[in-house]
Structure 1
Amino acid sequence: MTSRPEPTAASNEKHPLSLKVMRLSRPSLSSLSFSQALSVESNTQNILSDSLQTTPISLSDSLSLPPSFGTIFLGETFSSYLCIVNESNAKVSHAAIRAELQTQTQRFTLADTLSADCTLAPSKSAEFLIHHEIKELGVHILVCSVHYATPAGESKSFRKFYKFQVLNPLSVKTKVHTLVESGSVAGESNTGDGTRIFLEAQVQNVAGIPMFLETMRFEPHDLFQFVDMSVEFEEETGDGKSTKKQSVFSDTNLLNDRDSRQYLFALTSKKPNDPIAKVTPTLGKLDIQWRTTLGQQGRLQTSQLSRKMNAAAGGEAVRVEVRELPKLVCVEAPFTLPCRLWNNSASDTIDATVLFVKSRMSSVLLLGPSERAVGVVAPESYIDFSIDFFPLLSGVQKVTGLRVLDGKGGTLDVDVLCEVTVE
């Protein structure tokens, strides 16, 4: 089906060639009500009452052409039919067309036949089809230039402009939650650093028409692996069979206007204790494919989704962690904590020193000198060291007061290095 836009001509000069431009699009449902449809069908059957054939209302009676270019959404493929017709009584030589789609930032050439030698006899035409996937919001202008030569050999041309607006069919909002598990301190996490990132995505239909989400796929950054927690999953039962369960985040893929769906993705780093994964803000992007009323297909891919970095998410250039908690800590008995200092910088080497501030320490005191050199740490690397402590009280106690100097004047205060259970 086609719909014809209103052109804007560059000049009012009379030309032997005319340009027809129509957008190729699916029809829309007409406003014919169900009762009207029954009435039409009944009248049709009465007229044909002397025939054995029953003639129901046809599908085409329920469809209508969209006005002008209709609504064009981001992610749809724009298809158009171009036709140049010789409306004069003489042959026209070197007939050609050039079609460009201009956005606010780019210009695309969709058709160019200037190098072809086409001669059009009177009432003859040349037809072209153009296609382009819409990837930008805002005003788009289809610029069509028609070139030809008069019988006298004079080169002529004219242009027409077709303006249309591209709308966003979906509103995508995201939230990022970072969970640092306590098991990472004791080396219990299977990811190596005990950090999991939860990406929550809310997708809302703002197209004004019903929409079916055909595909909702998350493409993670190369540093991460993920689990989609918002799709159907199988669970083993006691008799060895599996049953399918549907996540509460996506009970149906059909979205009416202004309806929303929630999706949840759990990310972990591919490599244990990957320093780059701990500091990179980039997580990945969403790839969404959808269809509207009569099967119009569109695809929307978000830009790279990111997170705000902080100390809890590993956003510091230097990070200190405890590699393993001691199995037994007794009150008033020394114990040792094996530690690891990470240099998360991608280019800078640091000369690290650790010290403990006495006023910030609690009931677990430091044994030995309060300041000690750890050593030179290469970019994206680590160095291991150990610290001895003396617990004064029993119960769950916090190890606090650690400060790291990077040798260039930078400091990092670690509020709580870890918690130990003192017996």
Structure 2
Amino acid sequence: MHALAFRVMRLCRPDIPAEFPKGLGLRQDFLPDDLALESNSGEEDLTGPFAHRANIENPIDALGIDGVLELPQNFGTIHLGEAFSSYISVGNYSNATVEEVVIKAELQSARQKMTLYETATPLPKLDPGERHDFLIKHDIKEISAYTLICSTSYIDKGETAYQPQYFKFVAQNPLSVRTKIRSLTRQTFLEACVENLTSRPLVLAYIRLDAAPSVVAVPASSAWSDGEPSKDAESSSLGSYADSLQIVDAGGSSNFLYALHSSKASPAEAGSALTGALGKMEIRWRGNLGKLGRLQTQQIMANAVNSKDVELLLTSLPQAVHLEIPFAAKVTVRSNVDRTLENLALRVPEQPAEGGLVVEDLSSTVVSRLDAYGSSSVVCTLLPMKEGLQKLQAVELISQQDGRILDVMDIDCFVNR
């Protein structure tokens, strides 16, 4: 039997125990005391612990909290982004004095092994019943099975002894962060859904998108404002800060929306498609009695960029299209490059004989000049010849210089009688 042994106690905040809400009784709680006693006729005991529940002496009694803190009875659950703290005691449980005591505490995960504590010089001795205490703290940065390795070497009765002890736990993921990139005509939006995977409510105290150097991110609530984005909640008054906190119940979620655009100075370039890394999300939350947790997501990547230098977009159709009544379809030619394009033309090839849409007129088939990231519109007048869902096939955008087809699109519409 070894002379020394370790005792490990995780340091975590106590709980505030609360009683279950007390039910209401019609006679006891909604009738005056004298009527309740008369109507009871001895069938119920009104002197028990639930008597006069609605007539409490102190409003705080209705909370079911008596003010007593409850210490954790087990190791509990530790989550990614939280700090693991422990109080470790190594004691001499033998009847002999040990000498030259070296103590070491290491934390091993699936990827690495870290030394959290090590005596700089050996302790000269530990007498029977004497102990050496110390604290360790480490931020949990990966979801993994962890092993706390507490070891000591010492000299016992002239012989060197080595005693390791192992304490294992698993770090769990407290939050699930799902992101979606939504690209509109000249605006990109990042939607983030933060879900609480723990068994208790969490307060999202701080959430921010740390945009990449080439990206400017604005919360959607102020995305269309000409002013600067609002400051972080921490810098505002206490009341405003409390109102800004978001409580996410266990299993619940909260959503955030950011408008993104390029940080380049040119207005034309600022509306271009975003590529590569958009940034990382920084999330801080508080749990039981204000226990702090912090997570940072991996780089959020933009969607694959359209490789076309120029493209056709159907930007306008009437709400209702009727048989044999001409209508206008607006087609936009949009540039996706940072250079000027010239001598572009719109061409509608011959349609199949059974086609239900006929081109009556094109306002202009030639786009002589298209600025960098610019656009130009062409109005096409169509005549519907058949009812139902009809299609004008293969509207082409070509380069007059070399005849290349730059883009192709179809125009679909539903024709009413």
TM bucket by the smaller chain?
0.5 to 0.7
1:15 counterpart residue number: 2
Aligned residue in 1 for 2:253: 260
Q: CA shift at 1:72, angstroms? A: 0.6
Query: Are 1:354 and 1:402, in contact at CA under 8 Å, matched by a contact in 2?
Result: no
Partner Cα distance (2:225, 2:272) in 1:
30
Structure 2 counterpart of 1:145, one-letter code:
S
What pairs with 1:281-360 in structure 2 (closer than 5 Å)?
Answer: 281-311=276-306, 316=307, 319-320=309-310, 342=337
**Residue in structure 1 matched with residue 17 of structure 2 by the alignment:** 30
Find the counterpart in structure 1 of residue 163 from structure 2: 158
Deviations 1:180-215 (A, max 9, x none): 2xxxxxxxxxxxxxx321111111222111211111
Q: Is residue 205 of structure 2 the alignment partner of residue 214 of structure 1?
A: yes
Q: 1:67 to 1:414 in 2, by over 3 A?
A: farther
Q: Does 1:144 align with 2:158?
A: no
Aligned-partner Cα distance in 1 for 2:378–2:225? 50
Q: Structure 2 CA distance, aligned partners of 1:367 and 1:231?
A: 37
Percent identity between the two aligned chains: 31
Match of residue 10 from structure 1: none
Give the whole-Å Cα distance in 2 for the aligned partners of 1:259 and 1:274: 39
Q: Which amino acid aligns with 1:319?
A: D
Once the two structures are superposed, residues 107-141 of structure 1 have per-residue CA deviations (whole angstroms, 9 ceiling, x without a partner) of 2221222x512123312222221111111113221
TM-score (norm 2): 0.61
Q: CA, structure 1 residues 252+116, in 2 after alignment: closer, same or farther (shift >3 Å)?
A: closer
Q: CA distance change for structure 1 residues 276 and 88 in 2, over 3 Å: closer, same or farther? A: farther
CA drift at 1:263? 0.9
Unaligned residue ranges in structure 1 (runs of 5+): 1-13, 40-58, 181-194, 237-243, 245-249, 323-336, 345-351, 369-382, 417-423
State the distance in 1 between where 2:381 and 2:223 align: 50
For the residue of structure 2 that corresponds to 1:62, the secondary structure is coil
Task: Determine which of 101, 107, 112 is the counterpart of 2:118.
Answer: 112
1:135-284 map, 5 Å: 135-152=141-158, 154-180=159-185, 195-230=186-221, 253-271=246-264, 272=266, 278=273, 280-284=275-279
Amino acid at match of 1:303: Q
Which of 401, 406, 414 is matched with 1:413 structurally? 406
Q: Which amino acid aligns with 1:178?
A: S
Matched-pair contact (CA < 8 Å) for 2:396–2:405: no
- Once the two structures are TM-superposed, the CA of residue 22 in structure 1 deviates from its matched residue by 1.1
CA distance in 2, matches of 1:88, 1:391: 96
The CA distance in 2 between the partners of 1:133 and 1:358, in whole Å, is 63
Contact 1:218/1:286, CA 8 A, preserved across alignment: yes
> Paired residues, what number?
307
1:24 Cα shift? 0.8
Structure 1 contact 224–277 (Cα < 8 Å) conserved: no
Name the CA distance, whole Å, in 2 between partners of 1:162 and 1:355.
Answer: 72
Q: Answer yes or no: is the 8 Å Cα contact 2:261–2:270 preserved in 1.
A: no
Tell me the equivalent position of 1:64: 70
- Is contact 1:172-1:201 (8 Å) kept? yes
Check 1:339–1:97 CA distance in 2 against 1; reply closer, same or farther (3 A cut).
same
User: Which residue, out of 55, 77, 85, partners 2:83?
Assistant: 77
Alpha-carbon distance, 1:93 to partner: 1.9
Change (3 A) 1:355 1:31: closer
Change (3 A) 1:403 1:16: farther
Q: Does 1:90 align with 2:80?
A: no
Change (3 A) 1:353 1:390: closer
Structure 2 gap segments, 5+ residues each: 23-47, 50-64, 228-236, 238-242, 313-331, 351-358, 383-393, 410-417
Q: Quick check: 2:187–2:271 contact (8 Å CA) kept in 1?
A: no
CA RMSD of aligned residues (A): 4.6
Deviations 1:262-297 (A, max 9, x none): 111111100035599735232111111111132111
Q: Deviations over 1:220-267 (max 9, x none)?
A: 11111111125899999xxxxxxx9xxxxx975122222221111111
Letter in 2 for 1:157: Y
C-alpha distance 118-278 of structure 1, shift in aligned 2 (>3 A): same
Distance 1:164 1:353, change over 3 A: farther
Residues 264 and 293 of structure 1: is their aligned pair in 2 closer, same or farther, counting only changes over 3 Å? same
SS class of match (1:294): helix
Q: Whole-Å Cα distance in 1 between the matches of residues 279 and 182 of structure 2? A: 15
Give the structure-1-normalised TM-score: 0.60
